[in-house]
Structure formats: C-alpha cells, structure tokens
Structure 1
C-alpha cells in the first residue's frame, strides 16, 4: 500500500515539476508523507507499531488545519520569489559517498549552479549551524570530486521571502576551503 501511495504522489509531483497544475492541499499531503519517509530513510524506524496498517496510517494522515494553513501561506510566499525555475535543476542533491559519515547530507535544490538551503524558521536571520550546514554541503561536494557545479550558496528564508547569496569564488579566495574539506574528510573517517 505504501508503495502505491508513494508512486501515485511521485507521478503527480513529476507532472507538477514539469508545469502541470496541482491542488496545493494535495501537494502538501504528498510532501507531508514524503517528509515522514525521509525521516525513516535517514534515521530508521524508532517507534513500535502493532500492525502494518498502523505503520502505514502515519503516512496517510493529513497535517492539522493550522499546519495546513501555515504551509499554504509558505507556498504563496514561495510563488512570489520562484515564479519559474529555469535551467539545470537538481532536487535534493545527495553527497552519496560521504553522507553516511556525517549522519546524512542531502541539500534542498541546486538551480543553475546555486545551491539553495530553504529554511522555514520563524526567526529572522540565520544560525551558525545553518551556515555550517550549507558550507558543509559545499565541502562534501568538493570531497566527492564536485559532481555538482556549485558557484553560489543561498539561504531562502521561506517565512520572510528573503534570499541571501554567497559567491563560492569569494569563499575560495578568502578561506582555505580545500584544507577544510580535507579536515572534514579526515575527521569523519576517524569518528570525530
């Protein structure tokens, strides 16, 4: 049953990405299901379920009405800033060889060489951990041999509709990121 739910949503999502309209509530329900699947993929199943039906039910339950309203607002803000995504796009780029070493590393999206990290925090600005996470994705990309051509890093703060960019050339000219990538690789290899 879960395979069918996922396949159905994936088909609709693919059509949506290619420009077809999709009911926002249906989009949210599918994204809600996928977020739960993602958690299981990253950390495993940590709950005890008495039946397969009980386990599957968590994926079919809809978000509460207040969460649904909040997500609909975020969609409207997003539409104002990302009217059309043009160019080469990679959704959820994963840094396969090293991601397990760092507890899972999967970014949000790369569009035309810009790696976007999308945050829904209710606080303005960003925390150092968020900046470290985004830079960490870039460093993992370097360690992997740069499978993704990343020229800029960007934070998209969904609740505020704000975008902040950093050019990778500026970072490379002001910081020794090759050394940082080597240190990250060594630290994770030895379990630090």
Structure 2
C-alpha cells in the first residue's frame, strides 16, 4: 500500500504518524498571516468547469514549477527521469503502438531543454507540454492498463482555459515563491525525493521537492483550510527519512540501494492560488517523541510485513538481504 493508503486505511500506521504531526496552530506562514485562514487573498481564481481538470492543473503546475527552479539552479532535466516517462512507456506497451516513444520523446525533451537552458519566459507552448506530462503521469499512477488512447493523452482539451490558469499560477509562483528567495542559484534541490528502503515499504513513496532543508508540497487548491491528510503525508515522509537513516547509515544495511541522501527538518505547504507558504519545523518537537514514533514505526514494519512489497523489493534488488533488514528493524525496536 502507498503512504496515502496506509494513512487512510491502517489505523495503527496513522496513529504512529499522527503522534508527531503538527496541528493547525503549530504552523507559521512566510507572509505573517494566520495559517489556513481567511486572511489569504485569492490571487488565481478557480475557473475550471470540468472537475477532472483540477488534478490535471495541479500536476502540470508541479512540472512547470520544477522547470522554473531547474532554470534558476542551472540543472538539466531528463524526460526519462520524470514519472511522466513511465506513463509513455506504459501507453506504448498497452496500446501496442511501439512508435509512441520515437514520436513524442524527442519533442518533449526539446521543449523542456528550450525552456530551462534557453532561460525563456513562460509561454503557452511550455504550458501545453506540462499538461501532456501531467496526463502521462496520471496514467502512469492509475490502475488502468487498457482503454486509454494516444489522443486521450496528447490532445489537450479546453486548452485556453487550462493554459490561462497555469499562466496565472506561475505568475504568482514567480512573485511569491521565487521572489521571496526560497530558491537560490546554489540551493540543493531534489525533485521527487524518495527514501530508499523506507519508501519501498510503503510502495515507493516520493515527495514533491526538497530545497535545502525544506520539504515542499505544492497544492493547487481553492480552499485555505487545514487538512490533516496533507500534514500526515508530509509527516510520514519525515519519519520515513528518519527510518532510512537508521537502517542505511547506523546499521549499514543495503547501502547499494538507491535513495536520495537528504536531510530536512522543515515541511511546507505552498498554496499556489494564494501564494502562501505554511511551514513547520520538526526541531520544535521533543526529540524523545520523534524517537518514540520512529521505534513504533520500525516495530510496525517488523511485525506487520507486507509480503507483496517485500517480494517486489527483493525481485528489484536481488543483492538485498531481507534478514539483514529485519535485524536492523529489530535493533531499532530493541534500542527503546
């Protein structure tokens, strides 16, 4: 099960994460306004008539924001490293059209490179490319194998409305996020950071973006209220990263497994329609409480193993020793 599914369907898992999750009153905002409040000003009104377009806009905005950040830090981005690329491979496989990658790969990569390397300003062409990537990513993550066509992915419907929304969101992002100095030319940035073994235990969890010591989650929502599900997800990432460090570094298990060597204590929700950043620093929580939650999480994975996930993990990484992993978890539990 994914991290989201664990949080929504497994009470024990949710309780462990909730034990250190910040409450509404614990957050602060970059603007100084009360977090999650009606003090926020709507800078990009919601104009979408088709409900399904909301998630499409959210994912497309994520891509455009990443492109703009990559432009600032002078970072090349490969289409093959994006989740959307998995969608293209999946579409090619299940439509049986083996020409799709040849047809679309170079064009999409060129559009990405032209924007990032050319230091161009945002334009509708880049917005349409982001929408195509968003369609591919949604398809990649969906439990759908057949019934989706090339046209469904690459023929963008309601193009004018969608590109207008994206332009508004990115103009606000430029002013409120980029303009506030959250991204510097020498910032350490990790797109879609994941947490090695710990991520695999929740079916490959990956977050939005890490900038220096802050884990950001970009939200294109039309309401400003506090949502515990969003906060629990970010807290879950924080705990998974803590667990990874314990296993990979302190116990030296499966050091060859790929993971992003990251450290962070701060989480932040960026509300794109309002240009507001709501943040919390886990350094404000008692270290003993965090340690207790970490031990409980290790115990949960040790005593409630998901056989399917473990099998998949072993199959993908044949050099991985499951017994060593269990010993590492047991050592964490026994350290209590």
- Establish whether residue 89 from structure 1 lines up as the match of residue 182 from structure 2: no
In structure 2, the residue corresponding to 1:150 is in which secondary structure? coil
| Unmatched segments (≥5 aa) in structure 1 | 50-54
Asked whether the equivalents of residues 151 and 168 of structure 1 are also in contact (C-alpha less than 8 Å), the reply is: yes
* CA shift for structure 1 position 178: 1.8
RMSD: 2.8
Bigger proportion of residues as strand: 1
Q: Which runs of 5+ in 2 are unaligned?
A: 1-98, 246-259, 308-336
Within 2, Cα distance between the matches of 1:126 and 1:63? 32
User: Is the Cα–Cα contact under 8 Å of residues 208 and 218 in structure 2 kept in the other structure?
Assistant: yes
Alignment of 1:61-76 (within 5 A): 61-64=155-158, 65-76=160-171
Please say if 1:159 is aligned against 2:255.
no
| 2:305 corresponds to 1:189 | yes
Distance 1:143 1:149 in 2: 12
Shift of 1:94: 2.6
C-alpha separation in 2, matches of 1:188 and 1:79: 45
TM-score (norm 1): 0.80
Q: Contact conserved, 1:101 with 1:188, CA < 8 A, in 2?
A: no
Aligned position for 2:230: 130
8 Å CA contact 2:198, 2:241 repeated in 1:
no
2:50 aligned partner? none
Higher relative contact order (CA 8 A, sep 6+): 2
- For each residue in 1:100-155, what CA deviation from the matched residue of structure 2 results, as whole angstroms up to 9, or x when unmatched? 54354221111111100010110113310000111111122222228311131111
Q: Which residue of 2 aligns with 1:3?
A: 101
Q: What TM-score do the two structures reach when normalised by structure 2?
A: 0.48
Runs (4 or more) in structure 1 with deviation over 4 Å come to none
Q: In the comparison of the two structures, how many residue pairs are matched?
A: 186
Cα distance, 1:70–1:172 mapped onto 2, change above 3 Å: farther
1:150 equivalent among 236, 241, 264: 264
